């Protein structure tokens, strides 16, 4: 991959991350039919940590020597990962996988808006309008949640907020911070949170099928962790970010084949609006970057 440009490597990392996260979602959605929520998160996390420790030896070992600023960002990112995991998996279990994934597609818009508000990035009226229209698309997707029929759609929106913070933290980390170390710290945080949550649950018997699904989920979530961290640290965001939408293709396919779900027409309209406004936002960022370079 050394012959590829940073942008192409970032695009491949993004597509790998989206595929891995969506396949993890499918595994977790199936296994939650047999196991309690925190039990499933806890067991998946233990497997993920074990694989990360082994993987760290292959990738050059763990490195916890970080400046105080990076430690603050890593810990904030880990807390955001915990919140995102809890709210997202709750939503995933009660909603079609394509609908939940579609709501997450508003992330590029929330990251753009947050960067402007927190870090002073320029945000012209066109991109601001695109963000507002994109949020209208999300409201169409979660319309049942807004009417009180499906509060788990609101859980998905809360997860978006946590993932926005997570991605902003990853983007501002120093280039020398180890990606596998960041992933391990996040995984440990999620496992610790799940361990506390299991105290209020009755553990179910873990079948061989559940073990296989959890192993698959751990493998895919690991890939998602690593690829997502590497994605945010390579290339231009305006070039790489549109490849986030490949997760929708995976979600629609898995939702139909595995769960027999397909979004209704109005939901599809909302999905198209979100994708179109996100793509426009990336286009404007790229044009502005080119103008700045000129």
* Residues 9 and 1: beta-carbon distance below 8 Å: yes
pLDDT at 40: 95
Nearest Cα neighbor of 49 from 190, 155, 150 is: 190
How far is residue 87's CA from residue 272's CA, in Å, rounded to a whole number?
24
Name the stretches of the chain with pLDDT < 70: 1-4, 59-60, 120-123, 143-150, 232, 235, 237-238, 282, 284-286, 288-294
d(CA 142, CA 69): 37
Which value, to the nearest 10 degrees, does the dihedral of the CA atoms of residues 160, 161, 166, 171 take? 90
Domain locations in the chain as residue ranges: 6-293
| Predicted local distance difference test score (pLDDT) of residue 109 | 78
| Residue-level pLDDT at 292 | 63
The pLDDT of residue 128: 76
For Cα atoms 50, 54, 55, give the angle at the middle one, nearest 5 degrees.
110
Per-residue confidence (pLDDT) for residue 215, from 0 to 100: 93
Burial 123-147 (b: 16+ CB within 10 A, else e): beeebeebbeebbebbebbbeebee
Q: Could you read off the pLDDT of 212-250 as tens digits, one per residue?
A: 999 999 889 888 877 877 786 776 766 777 778 888 889
């Amino acid at each position: 991959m050394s012959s590829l440009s940073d942008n192409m490597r970032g695009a491949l990392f993004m597509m790998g991350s989206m595929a891995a996260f969506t396949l993890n979602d499918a595994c977790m959605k199936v296994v939650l039919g047999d196991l309690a929520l925190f039990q499933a998160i806890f067991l998946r996390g233990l497997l993920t940590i074990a694989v990360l420790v082994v993987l760290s030896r292959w990738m050059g070992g763990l490195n916890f020597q970080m400046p105080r600023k990076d430690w603050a960002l890593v810990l904030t990112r880990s807390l955001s990962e915990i919140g995102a995991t809890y709210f997202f998996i709750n939503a995933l279990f009660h909603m079609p996988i394509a609908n939940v994934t579609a709501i997450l597609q508003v992330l590029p818009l929330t990251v753009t808006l947050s960067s402007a508000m927190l870090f002073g990035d320029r945000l012209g009226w066109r991109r601001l309008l695109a963000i507002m229209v994109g949020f209208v698309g999300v409201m169409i997707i979660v319309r049942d949640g807004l009417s009180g029929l499906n509060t788990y759609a609101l859980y998905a929106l809360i997860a978006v907020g946590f993932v926005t913070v997570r991605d902003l933290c990853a983007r501002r980390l120093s280039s020398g911070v180890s990606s596998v170390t960041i992933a391990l710290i996040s995984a440990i945080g999620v496992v610790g949170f799940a361990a506390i949550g299991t105290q209020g649950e009755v553990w179910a018997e873990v079948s061989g099928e559940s073990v296989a699904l959890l192993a698959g989920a751990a493998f895919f979530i690991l890939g998602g962790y690593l690829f997502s961290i590497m994605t945010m640290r390579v290339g231009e965001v305006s070039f790489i970010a549109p490849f986030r939408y490949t997760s929708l293709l995976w979600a629609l396919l898995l939702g139909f084949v595995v769960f027999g779900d397909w979004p209704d027409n109005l939901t599809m309209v909302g999905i198209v609006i979100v994708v179109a406004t996100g793509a426009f936002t990336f286009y404007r960022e790229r044009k502005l970057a080119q103008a700045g370079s000129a």
